[in-house]
């Protein structure tokens, strides 16, 4: 699966580490951080679907990742949404949902990632196809 990420960093290659999400919040990711503290890096499946703050020459990077390691939340074949609601009085808690899929948990006040078959999750938000990756990904500048 091809993944696209805009970054103000200017390098030929980058390793995008989701743990950076815990400390460095761009204005557009602050809302996502309030939703859940699960470490993640956001990618587009279609770079033309970018938000307005990426207009005007922000470098575009591309990476690839196996489809089988990215959970399709739209299809939700493992019923993570249903499980999450069942555990939370029939209310969808996005933090709990992301923890279930990602394997990120707190143990002794330290954030650790348990073994899980998924390294990312695919979903749609505001008409955009988004993948949130829970693991570092090497990307190359393409524009």
Per-residue confidence band for 88, with pLDDT thresholds at 50, 70 and 90: very high
- CA-wise closest residue to 120 among 29, 20, 40, 33: 40
Can you give the pTM of this predicted structure? Answer: 0.88
Taking only the tens place, the pLDDT of each residue in 15-29 is 999 987 666 655 555
Q: Say what the pLDDT of residue 31 is.
A: 58
User: 125 CB contacts (<8 Å, ≥6 apart)?
Assistant: none
**What is the domain count for the chain?**
1
Domain coverage including residue 104? 2-141
Does pLDDT of 74 surpass 70? yes
Backbone phi, psi, residue 98, to 5°:
-65, -35
Backbone phi, psi, residue 104, to 5°:
-75, 125
Q: Say what the pLDDT of residue 48 is.
A: 87
Mean pLDDT of the chain: 88
Residue 83 CB-half CA count within 13 A = 12
Which one is predicted more confidently, 93 or 8?
Answer: 93
Does pLDDT of 53 surpass 80? no
Helix (H, G, I), strand (E, B) or coil at 8: coil
Strand runs labelled E in 1-143: 2-6, 13-16, 41-44, 60-64, 70-72, 104-107, 110-113, 120-125, 128-133, 137-141
């Amino acid at each position: 699966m091809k993944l696209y990420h805009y970054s103000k960093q200017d390098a030929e290659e980058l390793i995008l580490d989701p743990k950076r999400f815990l400390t460095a919040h761009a204005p557009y990711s602050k809302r996502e951080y309030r939703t859940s503290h699960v470490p993640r890096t956001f990618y587009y499946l279609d770079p033309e679907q970018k938000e307005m703050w990426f207009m005007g020459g922000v470098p575009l990077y591309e990476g690839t990742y196996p489809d089988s390691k990215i959970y399709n939340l739209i299809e939700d074949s493992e019923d993570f949404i249903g499980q999450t609601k069942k555990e939370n009085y029939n209310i969808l808690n996005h933090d709990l949902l992301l923890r279930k899929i990602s394997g990120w948990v707190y143990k002794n006040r330290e954030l650790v990632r348990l073994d899980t078959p998924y390294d990312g999750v695919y979903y749609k938000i505001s008409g955009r196809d988004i993948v949130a990756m829970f693991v570092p990904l090497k990307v190359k500048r393409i524009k």
